[in-house]
């Protein structure tokens, strides 16, 4: 289908094809107005979560209309934003009258490919540089971008995925209590996790060959996944554990649940549970551990001695952590997601 299609080259700055201009607001995070309900996405140049930093109140600056492609200066991030939104600094907007979600999904990988030569600092995705970038697109017989083809191509791929994907069954729930309906207690993390034996050993990640083993680093997104590498079998960690970032660029203190076997670098600790642990009660705990992101940073990194001294608040039953409630609570959260997907 796509191999037989004719293609043409177009400038991102070609006003007959695209409209490209800076964000209408560009509000620093510390200058955001907090005034009532927070219904509007605040988009930054982050590589994670589709650029979404948080939801904010209505601001005094003009709002950007949705149904646009967002391009971040320096980070070269490219996202589609469906709803109206505000942004941080150094964000460019790309759109045209034919753009919709499917067309955007077709365009974004093509644009990302053209931005690979740009980087942080003096060679970032400025408006001037973006306008000079060329992208190859499917064309009609008259030589215009074939927007209908792009949208239909993506929809065909989505239909195939949806046809092959089977939703998981909803969990059986026996405990419907909310977080404010249970008792809480404070515990040493080291009482319930072994933090003494496991430390990351892959300090020079650049020297590792590409492979099939997930490499977990002290990242602030993507569950800590840095890439896939080859490593010695003895360095592969077991699954069903928690990784906790020792330091990192904005990721210090974040915790992640690791469902599969993995390797880990020297900036991450591996926490092995001393209780009957599963995916769901550990996902509950991961959220609480990640609150340490507000404490640890480059100047105050995690350390083994600090791990042993740190405490965590957990739901309790008869004075002990109620791991069954934690499991049930997270399964309820997953049921809600499944219900939305079934609609």
Domain residue extents for the chain: 7-152, 179-342
Model confidence, pTM: 0.67
User: Hey, how many other C-beta atoms are within 10 angstroms of the C-beta on 167?
Assistant: 10
Cα separation, 145 vs 139, whole angstroms: 4
Summary count for the chain: helices (H), strands (E): 6, 19
SS3 60: coil
What pLDDT shows up at residue 204? Answer: 58
Per-residue burial over 33-71, b = 16 or more CB atoms within 10 Å of its CB, e = otherwise: eeeeeeebbbbbbbbeeebebeebeebebeebeeebbbb
What pLDDT shows up at residue 97? Answer: 95
Looking only at Cα atoms, what is the longest distance across the chain? 75
Topology agreement, domain 7-152 and domain 179-342? yes
SS3 153: helix
Angle between helices 147-164 and 101-114 (to 10 degrees): 100
Find out whether 263 and 311 touch, Cβ atoms under 8 Å: no
What pLDDT shows up at residue 209? Answer: 81
Q: In terms of DSSP bridges, do strands 91-95 and 134-138 run parallel, antiparallel, or are they unpaired? A: unpaired
CATH T-level topology, domain 179-342: Adenine-n6-DNA-methyltransferase TaqI; Chain A, domain 2 (3.90.220)
Per-10-residue mean pLDDT, the chain, length 343 = 89 95 92 88 86 90 96 88 94 95 97 84 77 95 96 94 85 96 96 72 65 90 89 89 85 92 90 96 96 76 82 97 98 93 76
Q: Indicate the CATH number of 7-152 among 3.90.220.20, 3.40.1390.20, 3.30.70.580, 3.40.50.300.
A: 3.90.220.20
What pLDDT shows up at residue 81? Answer: 96
What pLDDT shows up at residue 302? Answer: 78
């Amino acid at each position: 289908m796509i191999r037989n299609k004719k293609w043409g080259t177009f400038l991102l700055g070609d006003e007959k094809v695209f409209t490209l201009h800076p964000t209408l607001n560009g509000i620093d995070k510390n200058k955001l107005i907090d005034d009532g309900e927070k219904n509007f996405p605040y988009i930054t140049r982050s590589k994670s979560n589709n650029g979404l930093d948080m939801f904010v109140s209505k601001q005094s600056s003009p709002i950007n209309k949705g149904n646009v492609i967002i391009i971040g200066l320096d980070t070269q991030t490219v996202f589609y934003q469906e709803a109206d939104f505000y942004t941080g600094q150094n964000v460019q907007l790309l759109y045209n009258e034919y753009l919709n979600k499917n067309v955007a999904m077709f365009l974004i990988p093509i644009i990302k490919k053209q931005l690979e030569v740009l980087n942080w600092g003096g060679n970032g995705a400025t408006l001037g540089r973006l306008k000079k970038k060329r992208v190859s697109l499917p064309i009609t017989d008259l030589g215009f971008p074939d927007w209908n083809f792009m949208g239909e191509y993506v929809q065909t791929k989505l239909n195939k995925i949806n046809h092959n994907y089977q939703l998981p069954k909803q969990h059986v729930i026996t405990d419907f209590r909310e977080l404010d309906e249970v008792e809480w207690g404070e515990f040493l993390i080291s009482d319930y996790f072994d933090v003494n034996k496991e430390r990351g050993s892959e300090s020079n990640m650049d020297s590792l060959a590409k492979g099939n083993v997930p490499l977990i680093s002290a990242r602030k997104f993507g569950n800590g996944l840095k890439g896939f590498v080859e490593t010695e079998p003895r360095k592969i960690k077991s699954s069903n554990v928690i990784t906790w970032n020792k330091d990192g660029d904005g990721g210090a203190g974040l915790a992640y649940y690791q469902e599969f076997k993995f390797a880990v670098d020297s900036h991450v600790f591996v926490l092995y549970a001393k209780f009957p642990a599963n995916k769901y009660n550990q996902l509950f705990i991961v959220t609480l551990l990640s609150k340490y992101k507000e404490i640890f940073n480059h100047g105050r990194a995690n350390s083994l001695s600090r791990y042993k001294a740190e405490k965590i608040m957990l739901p309790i039953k008869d004075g002990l952590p109620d791991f069954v409630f934690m499991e049930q609570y997270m399964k309820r959260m997953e049921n809600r997601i499944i219900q939305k997907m079934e609609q």
